[in-house]
Amino acid sequence: MMTERLKKAINEQMNAELWSANLYLSMSFYLKKEGYDGFAHWMFKQYEEEVQHATQMAHYLIKREATPKIDKIDVVPQSWGTVTEAFEDTYKHERHVSQLIDLLVKIAAEEKDNATQDFLWGFVREQVEEEATVLAIVEKLRKAGEAGILVMDAQLHTR
């Protein structure tokens, strides 16, 4: 049986994933409006992944006889100055999410819930990859210049 503390923590993370989804959807719309179809497509894929993460957590809660609870999702930013700034914000956000997931793993360990720890390790591994991917994009954007950003935009449309 999952403890109340752990149920609450997973529900909070599920809602944080939904906030992340809204953030990436907002970024996608902004980048599309700015004419960056590839970057917008990439962010839309991020949006879908975050919704999937929240859904996986909800399904896990149900399997463990707990109730997923969707809470109010706060407003997300609506604009960014440049593509590079949007991806720098994305990188900062992914680092924040990594900290949240690390805390969730710690809570599962403290509650001695091995099944939940095992479930969460998949998210830990995914977060490491997401951070690395976004950092690589940020580093390329910083070096790219105007023409390079257009090339990257075309490449990211294939994700």
pLDDT-derived band of residue 145, with 50, 70 and 90 as boundaries? confident
For the whole model, what pTM was predicted? Answer: 0.94
Cβ neighbourhood burial of 94 (10 Å; 0-12, 13-18, 19+): buried
pLDDT tens across 4-41, in order?
Answer: 999 999 999 999 999 999 999 999 999 999 999 999 99
Which CATH number is 109's domain given?
1.20.1260.10
The DSSP result for 92-119, as a single string, is HHHHHHHHHHHHHHHHHHHTT-HHHHHH
Torsion of CA 131, 134, 135, 136, to 10 degrees: 120
pLDDT-derived band of residue 67, with 50, 70 and 90 as boundaries? very high
Say how many domains are in the chain: 1
pLDDT value of position 147: 82
Q: Are the C-beta atoms of 24 and 80 separated by less than 8 Å?
A: no
Q: For all residues of the chain together, what is the average pLDDT?
A: 96
Nearest Cα neighbor of 69 from 14, 123, 4 is 14
Query: CA–CA separation, 114 vs 92, rounded Å?
Result: 30
Query: CA–CA separation, 87 vs 78, rounded Å?
Result: 14
Range of the domain at 58: 4-156
pLDDT tens across 75-122, in order?
Answer: 999 999 999 999 999 999 999 999 999 999 999 999 999 999 999 999
Nearest Cα neighbor of 23 from 97, 82, 84 is 97
**14 CB-side CA count, 13 A:** 21
